[in-house]
Amino acid sequence: MAMSLGEFQRRIKALFGDKDARRGVEGTFMWFMEEVGELSAALRSGPKEELALEFADVLAWLVTLANIAEVDLDAAVEAKYGRGCPKCVRTPCVCIEAKP
């Protein structure tokens, strides 16, 4: 079952919203960083199945932070990337400077 980013954000809030609100931004950010570390390890040496699960965990904790901060990720992504590259407004990006 595929779901949109907004649907996923609402799902995470329904599943964990009360616990997440009690934990707060600081505690949630620490969990998020732990999951980023696990993703980093999986990128280096983990099997594909583990890698997929770590990506899902990182996304879930990122969505949790957005929920606590009351940020609608659908709206944020649309506002920033909906018209193309935020700098050159093209798809694909034709900006000269490249990020390392």
Q: What is the pLDDT of residues 50-59, one digit of tens each?
A: 999 999 999 9
Q: How confident is the model at residue 96 (pLDDT cuts 50, 70, 90)?
A: confident
- For residue 79 the two structure tokens come to 């506002």
Q: How confident is the model at residue 72 (pLDDT cuts 50, 70, 90)?
A: very high
Distance, CA of 58 to CA of 92 (rounded, Å): 26
Which amino acid appears at position 43 of this protein? L
Q: Does domain 5-81 have CATH number 1.10.287.1080?
A: yes
Statement: residue 98 has pLDDT above 90: no
**What is the radius of gyration, based on Cα positions, of the chain?**
16
- Between helix 73-81 and helix 48-68 the angle, nearest 10°, is 100
> For the stretch 20-51, what's the b/e string if a residue is b when 16 or more beta carbons lie within 10 angstroms of its beta carbon?
beebeeeebeebbeebeebbeebeeebeeeeb
Q: How far is CA 54 from the centre of its chain?
A: 12
